[in-house]
Structure 1
């Protein structure tokens, strides 16, 4: 859908999955997914505020949003934003593009989100927070314990931890090349992050890190005695769970927002570039092009 001539071009940034914009240590797909999570997780379900509203554009200076990933993502979206296509919708599309582009299951896309005009509330869970604090943040945003575990697992199957931004977690000398991956297949959307956790042997610095204080993944994964992670050890269950919980994530929006019906791709897309009278009494001439879906 995103190949061929005169294409939209948005997914060029996440194909192949390990694409890094020629910047050492980057992985665009992982950054896009993380940005959506950080923008959304401060939602307050009881008040109907926050969620996926692009308020993170006003929040990158906060300590809970440290790192270049968010500014990278926000700098890549503006050319695609328009009066009919909000920044929040583009963030949703960035996740929807990244997951299947890296081998994951399709996530349904709805439109109609409204961009925030100012910064939202604080409250992003941090690696050093204890389990109770993390669960409180997810519950406030409307997620169950099982959804919390799935979100953290699905959100950490790509990419890694930048030592230049999180030296206590990454360990070693901070440098762009020192970026411990979250699993041994960090450019594939798969359940290796789950298998390595359950096998007590892996590379995830949020699970197997030297500093137990920042092993937030380990605490969250084991919070239900590994019941959820055991289910997600099955590849099909993992993919299905990720698609479901990511759909929940991108539709966690302020209560005033009413998303559209799911958008479905069409096989033939016409683009009319010129429409004029044909010279005959009731005739009309149109010119344009069509794109034919091949996959």
Structure 2
């Protein structure tokens, strides 16, 4: 074989290898994409079963809507949206759900109920991670928010450790810079951070999450000066000094329409009646304060932005294709 032919063969080989690499990258990209209507042909009842279970739970106790929305958020911000927050601890491992930020999570039984029914209808098909994404959307709609399509095809993770919640879940004490930093690490813009904060328009909180604003804010003042004094006095009545998570005392995050997914949250922030330090922090910059004002005055814009942000959140570090697994029991790795 002459030098010219050998060079030609090498060029062909390199071309074939490059084509193979490009094909693999394309397939990998396709595999990593979630799809709208993912279960239409393989489990057509998937979304309706989840909606039915969520509807029954929220109908009996409206606060479960916020609980399921919060669970999806806490799942996605740790290891991505892989349902790792649902896994039970074992004698050799403390799972995410038993980390301090997650011990107040509720709604696990609702997910279990949906999963049990789905396994009867189409076993081994619908992931727990997708159930969480559907349940969050359904919770928003049942509370009066905007419906949106949820792309699906997530698979369930096989790892869940309490330590990984550290630094991944924003606490209620964060200031604006800390909020922007942690949301940026998850791929969100500053605007999307303000949007997702609007989830606090529904739900309740334990007194311990904000009591420092009432009784021991700093060495020079007992109460946070950014907290409306009248609202602060009301909170002190609901949360006597020394209240802890174990005391069972809770207050609505939006005192005026706690079960309605609306823009009252942003009006509360403007009135210095944001429950958490992280809520009131949204007024700390001109840009974030401007967005708070916009949402307070335009429900339609907030609804549309929130739906888009939820779809984006539901795609954080997802497992798809052959990655992960489809758990038969959301609490236990297969």
- For the aligned pair, the TM-score class normalised by the smaller chain equals 0.5 to 0.7
| TM-aligned CA deviation for residue 181 of structure 1 | 3.2
Root-mean-square deviation over aligned CA pairs: 2.8
Alpha-carbon displacement from aligned partner over 1:232-280 (angstroms, at most 9, x marks no partner): 12111111111111111112233x536xxxxxxxxxxxxxxxxxxxxxx
Q: 1:111 aligns with which of 141, 152, 161?
A: 152
Distance 2:302 2:288 in 1: 17
Please state if 1:91 is matched with 2:127. no
Structure 1 match to 2:275: 205
Distance 1:64 1:249 in 2: 19
| TM-aligned CA deviation for residue 142 of structure 1 | 0.3
| TM-aligned CA deviation for residue 182 of structure 1 | 2.3
5+ long unaligned stretches in structure 1:
1-6, 21-25, 43-49, 207-214, 259-295
5+ long unaligned stretches in structure 2:
1-47, 87-94, 214-234, 322-334
**Secondary structure of 2:182's aligned partner:** helix
**Secondary structure of 1:60's aligned partner:** helix
Please state if 1:37 is matched with 2:109. no
Q: 1:257 aligns with which of 320, 323, 332?
A: 320
1:79/1:166 CA distance change after superposition, 3 Å: farther
Residues 17 and 188, structure 1, Cα contact 8 Å, conserved in 2: no
**Secondary structure of 1:185's aligned partner:** coil
**Secondary structure of 1:205's aligned partner:** coil
Distance 2:60 2:104 in 1: 18
Please state if 1:216 is matched with 2:261. no
**Secondary structure of 2:302's aligned partner:** helix
Structure 1 match to 2:291: 228
| TM-aligned CA deviation for residue 151 of structure 1 | 0.3
Please state if 1:195 is matched with 2:267. yes
Please state if 1:55 is matched with 2:84. yes
Residues 102 and 188, structure 1, Cα contact 8 Å, conserved in 2: yes
Residues 205 and 251, structure 2, Cα contact 8 Å, conserved in 1: yes
TM-score (norm 2): 0.60
**Secondary structure of 2:201's aligned partner:** coil
Distance 1:165 1:132 in 2: 19
Please state if 1:27 is matched with 2:63. yes
Alpha-carbon displacement from aligned partner over 1:197-221 (angstroms, at most 9, x marks no partner): 22x154x422xxxxxxxx1111135
Please state if 1:160 is matched with 2:179. no
Residues 102 and 189, structure 1, Cα contact 8 Å, conserved in 2: yes
